[in-house]
Structure 1
């Protein structure tokens, strides 16, 4: 009986030590032509790379990256002093060895102890070879007549090459189902959009086909992305997929973007790290967007996530600042009705924004001593006289408190004929409602005083007015913009 207990105790000890050992990483590295040099183990995180570990190779070019806890799974990089590097996969098995030479890191790469990395090496080499073949064929096609038989043969070869790559991808995915390699390759695949037959009697066939492609692509773009799988964060593909979808695949319409932000965020809530990364990405992307109207997306992200209990990484001070910032944006979003303003005119009478009957009204916040205003105001004034008062009116708001400076400048420049107003004591709170933090600030309103454009240049303002008032066709305006570029 004693021997049985001794054997059992011994087995338990082995099990415990085995469990402890498996909670660490150990990656042996040998670079055949690199001696006594430091190399780095880095990793991808979103669109950036970070250093995880550093070792110095010995006189034989050997060294070991090791640690007492497991690495987060993902794609890691071994970086040489020359800044050249090669990728390795860190999955469940975190004890293996790699050997290569710096003259061709991938081709010379040898893997021991990791079947997944061996398959990854084959995949990388396969893609390098096929890319080289593709470039050669494309270069040959460039030198041929597009309709020649030789060109058609080469294009068929190119299609065959592409089909071969897809077959290889599918085979590798099948052989590595659920493992990091299979997950990554599957995520790299874009939707295969099925062809549709458009009836002959349908007008605008190209538009119908475009909408079909757009609709299918946006519905299936993330079919192979599991937003609860945080392994994606440490790959070079996830951030690019996210950015491509939200800045290129989707129409840049705030309501559309908000809809898909909610879909992705909802799927990511299952993993805290993934959720935080995605919400931060959305916030930073649309906070810094140069596209007019994207502040509506920012307000949505704040309301639905940052200013709720779903986000626990924002401290009280920054939450307060964000709440104040969003409050300023909320009143002047594109599509909202502009806050009415009743202000004193230069003649000490009162003018009210809602009383203006023009088809379009420009609310123009400016000041005489603003350097940019000195350039923009003459252009806006020139534009003012190119349209009738039934078509276009300007509600010019002086933002400062020096009446003498204001009136003298208006008389000097001859700006007396548009509506000049000011609010000496800030009774209208215009800075808050129109988020006026710099000058000039421009808002274009329609005849119902709904905001249709804001913070635009005078050339964009001209284009909008000319198109909306039927002075120019939109195609002509687009052509002019291309020529200007």
Structure 2
């Protein structure tokens, strides 16, 4: 019997010594019967596994897999409650909670997470400021970066003070210390597109090369904040993108995440000359890059996209289109363009939520440009949704009053023209001159406004 107990004890010691981290949640009188352990970034090599812990059976969840460490959270599916936790490799975290308010009742002896829970309670007590901000936005108020910082100053000051004191009690290598330092940097930051020194200082504060930094909720937020220091023009955005991506080796764990961020950013229609910016991105970081991080299929898709975009240079004649309108009559794009000072080529889908928002916004910009600059602007609008009922299409036209200077035509299925114009998503806007030459690609309401604003400045 004694031998058996020693063997059992040895087995338990062996099991726990192999564990890279352990977590236990003890609960009383909770609406939820389970809790999920989740992370803000999923990764199949080093991550906190997507675990499910029973709240009715208290016990340790043991992982033998090493983790880099980072910020995760406990998610309670019934009440939708979320409590953030920090986990470094070899940590053992035991928490207890009770009653309906999980954050108020959660307790632990773990010093890092005890601090983190106190921080989240403070954050929750200041949530009324976020509510007021959303109310102001709903009432139509627009905030500049400096106005937004002033609005949140009381909250930012309180949280920054807490984080600064907490950092002194943490190891610099702790995931929570890294998390708090980046939040302090974000709260201090007020993007100013003319303050180059401030822009550079913010970039230097961010620990992009620290592997733990990727596994915090701040990775995308800090990239967004940094790029907000640049004008919404492709050549400027390229500078910031190159500086950030230049900080990584392409075999770094965070590199694919940064790559995906910039792939989306450089396609943003609010960036002037975004197509040229995206072509630059694909050329430098896919076609010419020696990095091997992309799966071959994904790389080939991006190279095909590059070939398509490279075939639509600015100030060149747009590819021919001759499509049937709502009456069945064919309308030639180039012939249509000759009747106008400019023509907006629109690919849209009546059932697309983005189209329902953006097409009317663009229409307002066009009407303003026509009025201010005394222009006549045509709209060659293509229903880019194969098989959509005519009634749905015509209802969209009537609802948003898209009638004056319009040709409403339809694209019959997946055609070569759709591929040539890279119009596989909706909406897509191109701007043509009177001769049918492309003068703007992959535009949005903001970039169309800037285009005609520049025309107004030049005419003064």
TM-score w.r.t. the length of structure 2 is 0.62
> Is 1:77 matched up with 2:73?
yes
Segments of structure 1 that go 5 or more residues without pairing to the other structure are 1-13, 139-155, 196-208, 342-362, 397-429, 474-485
Residues 286 and 46 from structure 1, CA distance in 2 versus in 1: closer, same or farther, beyond 3 angstroms? farther
2:35 corresponds to: 39
SS at match of 1:178: coil
Structure 2 portions without partners, runs of 5+: 1-9, 134-149, 343-369, 381-415
In 1: Cα distance, 2:67 partner to 2:121 partner? 25
- Matching residue within 32, 35, 54 for 2:52: 54
Q: In the superposition, relative to structure 1, how do residues 467 and 271 fare at CA in structure 2: closer, same or farther (>3 Å)?
A: closer
Q: Cα deviations across residues 153-180 of structure 1 (Å, max 9, x unaligned)?
A: xxx9x96775454333222223223321
> CA, structure 1 residues 365+468, in 2 after alignment: closer, same or farther (shift >3 Å)?
farther
Q: CA deviation at 1:186?
A: 0.9
Q: Is the 8 A contact 1:46 1:233 kept in 2?
A: no
Q: What are the equivalent positions in structure 2 for 1:240-255 lying under 5 Å apart? A: 240-246=221-227, 248-255=228-235
Retained in 2: the 8 A contact 1:24–1:70?
yes
Pair 34,314 (structure 1): closer, same or farther in 2 beyond 3 Å: same
* C-alpha distance in structure 2 between counterparts of 1:259 and 1:316, whole Å: 27
Matching residue of 1:91 = 88
Partner of 1:272: 252
* Structure 1 residues 102 and 270: alpha-carbon distance in aligned structure 2, compared to 1, 3 A threshold: farther
- 2:273 matches 1:293: yes
Listed one character per residue, the Cα deviations across residues 445-477 of structure 1 (whole Å, up to 9, x for unaligned) are 699x9964235699997995696277988xxxx
* Secondary structure at the counterpart of residue 22 of structure 2: strand
Q: In 1, Cα distance between the equivalents of 2:287 and 2:218?
A: 30
Does residue 110 of structure 1 match 2:107? yes
SS state of the match for residue 60, structure 2? strand
- C-alpha spacing 1:378/1:105, structure 2 compared with 1 (3 Å): farther
Higher relative contact order (CA 8 A, sep 6+): 2
Q: Quick check: 366-375 or 220-229, which moved more?
A: 366-375
1:23/1:269 CA distance change after superposition, 3 Å: farther
**By how many angstroms is 1:95 displaced?**
0.9
Q: Which residue of 1 aligns with 2:120?
A: 124
Q: 1:366 to 1:472 in 2, by over 3 A?
A: farther
Q: Give how far 1:66 is off.
A: 1.7
Quote the residue 2:239 is aligned against: 259
Q: d(CA) in 2 for partners of 1:219 and 1:180?
A: 24
C-alpha distance in structure 2 between counterparts of 1:107 and 1:168, whole Å: 18
1:234 CA drift (Å): 2.2
State how far apart, in whole Å, the 1-side matches of 2:303 and 2:114 are: 51
Q: Return the alpha-carbon distance in structure 1 between the equivalents of residues 417 and 130 of structure 2.
A: 57
| C-alpha distance in structure 1 between counterparts of 2:269 and 2:250, whole Å | 28
Q: CA RMSD in A?
A: 5.0
Which of 171, 179, 182 is equivalent to 2:177?
A: 182
CA offset at residue 436 of structure 1? 3.9
SS of 1:383's partner is coil
Are the structure 2 counterparts of residues 80 and 137 from structure 1 closer, same or farther at C-alpha, using a change threshold of 3 Å?
closer
Give the direction of change, closer, same or farther, for the CA distance of 1:462–1:29 in structure 2 (3 Å limit). Answer: closer
